[in-house]
A and B are shown apart, each in its own frame.
Chain A
Amino acid sequence: MTAEITNTTMNILNQVLNGDVRAAAKLIRGIEDDIPEATAAMGEIYLHSGRAHIVGITGAPGAGKSTLLGCLIGEFRKRSKKVGVVAIDPTSQLSGGALLGDRIRMQKYCTDKDVFIRSLASRGWKGGLSRAAINTVHVMDAMGKDIIFVETIGAGQAEVDISHVADTSLVVLVPGMGDDIQMMKAGIMEVADIFVINKADREGADGLRISLETMLDGSPRQHEISHHSGINDVSPETPPDPGAHRPDEWRPSILLTEAINNKGIRELADEIERHREFLTSSGKLAERRRERAKLELTMAVETTLRSHLQKTDECYLDTLIDDLVQRKTDLNTAALKVIKLPTEL
């Protein structure tokens, strides 16, 4: 079924493509709240996205992610890049409300017309990435943002986390928080492209760097292994040589920063750009984007099926349920019947 492109959709699309912040923000709100017009417009927006460099930034609560982002916005603005930020904080399970405080650390850039910062509550996605969050990235992308940062807490545990969607994944650690044990648990080693040891003004930053390097020598990146059949030609006996590895392999880098003193930011920005260049030249960018599209397709199918179920005629469902209770039919047959049933849109 091809949705007709309505005037509303065309208007929203044109405004967003022209970089209209108010229209884009309203659209994002509509997607969060599942408004049909927003969903329709999103379909068109998607076709105009796919250019921006998407950078995920995760790490324990209070590691300094937002403060770092504040610095990075400034640095990338100096490099004439248009910047988008999506900052996700958890929804309180008790009240369903949320207190979104990441923005405080970035407010300095709020009036810059080429910076767009949007806070999102996780709304039941438990630290993972909601469809609304991914779509917010697409909207900023279509607006013409060159680089889009996505801040979330925790990596590796959620079903869909930012590392599955980002081109470049930053993991922020701080000295002296038992990080080494925790990140092994959280599977952070596998997702990071760049480790940032923030609060390097504190004691223990060098120690953390050394233990990270030791771990990296022993564990190649999981992403690369599972999606690369040619990995076996690296024989396990070959000693790791950080100075001379294959051009299509990325060894996660480790950088020290002091976000509150704006220190180490230029180097971090350089490294983020270097990773993007690596992705392009090695062909890995295309690989990651295929992975992302596949993930999004899976999410879209789930959403579509769920809404199909919601629209299915209740009387028809009741009959099916009766049949199930009386064991006249089985679950699989019943499910297939529901899926094949046309519903009016």
Chain B
Amino acid sequence: MTPERKVRILIAKPGLDGHDRGVKIVARGYRDAGFEVIYTGVHQTPEQIADAAIQESVDLVGLSCLSGAHLHLFSEVARLLKEQGAGDVTIIGGGIIPREDIPRLKEAGIKEVFLPGTTLEEIVNWTKENVSPK
């Protein structure tokens, strides 16, 4: 009976906006779905997020941004992870993001973008289907 492997997830809020209600709900939802979730809080720099993701050896990084700076911030996290040899970490993003930005985010390495109105269940199910322990 080997212990089952657990998917590890880092949830972070890059940038200046301090509204963390939404990400906290997602973090708890992930816990209740059996994932191990590390929450790093608000006002994180891309450097802090990338370094935390590496130290915590996570499979998934979930980013939330409501301030409008998502293009720069999300892409920067993706770039830093790749630069440090952690390009295999899946990155997803959410928040107030215009639909037309999605292609550019995906190009930058963000695997999926969840727009306002997405249910917790949808996010959890997507994660179960797309992320497995590395």
Interface, chain A (partner B; CB < 8 A): 21-22, 25-26, 28-29, 32-34, 91-92, 94-101, 103-104, 107, 110-111, 116-119, 121, 123, 310
Contact = CB atoms under 8 A, between A and B. Distances in A.
Contacts of B44: 107
A103 B37 contact: no
Interface in B33-84: 33-41, 44-45, 47-48, 51-52, 54-57, 84
25 contacts: A21-B51, A22-B85, A22-B86, A25-B55, A26-B57, A32-B6, A33-B5, A91-B36, A95-B33, A95-B34, A97-B6, A97-B31, A97-B34, A97-B35, A98-B36, A99-B28, A99-B30, A99-B31, A100-B36, A100-B39, A107-B41, A110-B55, A111-B45, A117-B55, A123-B6
B32 interface: yes
A285 B114 CA distance: 53
Contacts of B54: 21-22, 25
Given A96-B34, A99-B27, A99-B31, A310 B1 contact: yes
A100 B37 contact: yes
Contacts of A96: 6, 34
Contacts of B30: 97, 99
A111 B39 contact: no
B48 A107 contact: yes
Contacts of A21: 51, 54-55
B36 to A, nearest CB: 5
Contacts of A117: 52, 55
A25 B56 contact: yes
A95 B2 contact: no
A110 B28 contact: no
B57 A111 contact: no
Given A103-B38, A104-B41, A97 B55 contact: no
Contacts of A98: 31, 36-37
Contacts of B40: 103-104, 107, 110
Contacts of A33: 3, 5-6, 133
A97 B2 CA distance: 17
B38 A92 contact: no
Interface string B1-32: 11101101000000000000000000110111
Most buried by A among B27, B35, B47, B55: B55
Contacts of A22: 54, 84-86
Contact of A101 (B39, B48, B51): B39
A111 B36 CA distance: 22
A121 B45 CA distance: 25
